[in-house]
Amino acid sequence: MAERLRVHVDPDKCQGHARCKALAPELFELDEYGNAHEAGDGTVPPGLEDKAWLAKSNCPEIAIDVIEE
Amino acid sequence: MSDVSQPTAHPPVTDWINDFDHTDPQWTDDPFPIWEELRAASPVVHTERFLGCYMPTTYEAVREIANDTEHFSSRRIIVRDVRPEVARNAAPPITSDPPVHKPAKQLLLPPFTPDAMKKLEPRMRAICNELIDGFIADGKVDAAAQYGKYIPVQAIAHMLGIPESDSDLFINWIHMILELGIKDENKLLQAVQEMSAYFRAHIEERRSKPTDDLISYLMNAKDKEGQPLEESHVLGSLRLLLIAGIDTTWSAIGSSLWHLARTPADRERLIAEPGLIPIAVEELLRAYSPVTMAREVVKETTVSGCPVKAGNMVLLSFPAANRDPKMFPDADKVVIDRRENRHAAFGLGIHRCVGSNLARMEMQVALEEWLKRIPDFRLDPAGTVTWSQGTVRGPRQLPFLLGKAM
């Protein structure tokens, strides 16, 4: 069975580069300052796994975790 | 002031590893082999020039410094020949350290979110097309002076609410601060004074007639205690937005077009797959990052195992970090569809460029509109490409021939 993924943004590391929002808009949201957090509880809907990894590998602050559950 | 020293001429560099100089013509012309040589020598190199200055040469060393605000201060952010007293509120938040940095930064962030930039996008498209209308029939253009320059000028003038027709003034101030100011204190002071007077006049006008722009926004902003910002803070932030918003994106657009003029395969790919342009913009930002920042060592420490001593400056070269092959496979090549790209073109850590979303939007729109209307272009063999010196690197003369080569 395929593993379920969950994304998480470390708010202490995020500096608002907003790469995750550009690459995986379904998985991330920005606050009024442009800093990112995961959408909802971070669960990655089926089919969006690649976008989750892409967001992680483009975050300059290494602020994104992809957790395999 | 009469005691301000005259600008100094720098002797040419013969030993890059122990005597680097980012104002040397060789660096201006082609810095990439120099960075490779320095990186092979050590993660941190030092020069006695600029009253003592280090340079981290690896991505990791640049990240360490950018994240260490205890040992590395942002009170001086340009490596220069002189170190005059630091003015309070020089250009907050870029010249601020914790704890005053965060509130100053948070003030500026909301007007620059991706959503805010989307609202500006149609106007930027119209501006790009007007600029193209102005030269497309000529069959040739200086893409730096006639195109790349005016896109950020018009964007930032619009956001600040100042006349676009003053753009030559802005460009001259920036040249005096970022280029001439490295060696000539008088030029820097003169530009700062002129800018402050310019913005003071705009602030005065808005006292009786408030407007919907960033000048009014900052005039009405409150600090943590609910008090209006000091005038020096408002002026410092306005100077920052004007300086940081123009040369930088002008350079990035110019370098991108320079690359595309010389690389027909990438050009054709982006025309066939315009959806790839945002990814390509990131790669062009990595390969030709315009902005080098600075820090001042305020407490002795080590970086990547190398000791650094207080009192020295640090040339914080994000462009060199972005060419580190340990971080980026094929770092010296433009891989136009690079998927993994943690480039540091907009800095790392708390000083991440406040205008990064604006710059990205401008670059995407500038390339999209250009490629739609000018699919074929090349460097004009009869002209010369020139590059700016020092803190911000990009083409300042970029002569192109438009249309298919005969």
Using the Cβ of A60 and the Cβ atoms of chain B, whether some distance falls under 8 Å is answered with yes
Distance CA B400, CA B261 (A): 8
Residue (of B46, B8, B35) closest to B183 by Cα position? B8
Using the Cβ of A62 and the Cβ atoms of chain B, whether some distance falls under 8 Å is answered with yes
Cis peptide before A46 (omega within 30 of 0): no
* Nearest chain A residue to B350, by CA: A15
Buried b (16+ CB within 10 A) or exposed e, B263-289: eeebbeebeeeeeebbbbbbbbbbbbb
CB contact under 8 A, B106 and A33: yes
Place of tokens 């490409």: B385
Q: Please, which residues bridge with residue B56 across strands?
A: B44
Distance CA B369, CA A59 (A): 28
Close Cβ partners of B119 (under 8 Å, ≥ 6 residues apart): none
Mutate to test the interface with A, among B94, B106, B112, B342 (most CBs of A within 10 A): B342
pLDDT at position B140, please? 97
Taking a C-beta distance cutoff of 8 angstroms, is the pair B168, B161 a contact? no
Structure tokens at B139: 């069959």
For chain B, give the longest Cα–Cα distance: 67
**Three-state DSSP class for residue B296:** strand
Q: What is the pLDDT of residues B357-393, one digit of tens each?
A: 999 999 999 999 999 999 999 999 999 999 999 999 9
Chain B contacts in chain A segment 11-40 (CB below 8 A):
15-19, 21-22, 30, 32-34
Structure tokens at A1: 């069975």
Mean pLDDT across the stretch B75-93?
91
CB contact under 8 A, A33 and B340: no
CA distance to partner chain A, nearest, from residue B25 (Å) = 31
pLDDT at position B89, please? 85
Taking a C-beta distance cutoff of 8 angstroms, is the pair B233, B104 a contact? yes
Q: What is the pLDDT of residues B247-287, one digit of tens each?
A: 999 999 999 999 999 999 999 999 999 999 999 999 999 99
CB contact under 8 A, B344 and A60: yes
Cis peptide before B93 (omega within 30 of 0): yes
Distance CA B122, CA B140 (A): 26
Distances (CA, A) of B262 to A64, B259, B380: 36, 5, 11
pLDDT > 70? residue B1: no
Question: Residues of chain A whose pLDDT is less than 50?
Answer: none
* Architecture (CATH level 2) of domain A5-68: 2-Layer Sandwich (3.30)
Q: What is the DSSP string of chain A?
A: -PPPEEEEE-TTT--S--HHHHH-TTTEEE-TTS-EEESTT-B--TT-HHHHHHHHHT-TT--EEEEE-
Chain A contacts in chain B segment 275-334 (CB below 8 A):
278, 282
Residue (of B10, B190, B129) closest to B368 by Cα position? B129
Indicate the helix (H) or strand (E) that contains B220.
helix B214-220
Residue (of B116, B363, B350, B353) closest to B254 by Cα position? B363
Taking a C-beta distance cutoff of 8 angstroms, is the pair B270, B276 a contact? yes
Q: What is the ipTM of this complex?
A: 0.97
Q: Residue type for B9, please?
A: A
Contacts of B340 in chain A (CB under 8 A): 54, 57-58
Q: Please, which residues bridge with residue B294 across strands?
A: B315
Distance CA B145, CA B383 (A): 13
Q: At what angle do helices B231-262 and B277-287 cross, to 10 degrees?
A: 100
CA distance to partner chain A, nearest, from residue B46 (Å) = 26
Record the pTM: 0.96
DSSP state of B11: P
Indicate the helix (H) or strand (E) that contains B82.
none
CB contact under 8 A, B352 and A16: yes
pLDDT at position B224, please? 83
pLDDT at position B5, please? 55
Using the Cβ of B41 and the Cβ atoms of chain A, whether some distance falls under 8 Å is answered with no
Mean pLDDT across the stretch B118-124?
96
Distance CA B155, CA B162 (A): 10
B278, B348, B357: residue with CB nearest A61: B348
Looking at chain B, the whole-number percentage of residues with pLDDT higher than 70 is 98
Distances (CA, A) of A38 to A17, A41, A68: 14, 7, 15
Distance CA B74, CA B54 (A): 15
φ and ψ of B379, to 5 deg: -65, 140
Count of pairs with CB atoms under 8 A, one residue in A, one in B: 52
Q: What is the pLDDT of residues B48-75, one digit of tens each?
A: 999 999 999 999 999 999 999 999 999 9
Q: What is the pLDDT of residues B164-179, one digit of tens each?
A: 999 999 999 999 998 8
Close Cβ partners of B58 (under 8 Å, ≥ 6 residues apart): B39, B43, B304, B321, B324, B326, B327
Contacts of B111 in chain A (CB under 8 A): none
Alpha helices in B32-113 (DSSP H): 32-41, 59-66, 101-108
Using the Cβ of A10 and the Cβ atoms of chain B, whether some distance falls under 8 Å is answered with no
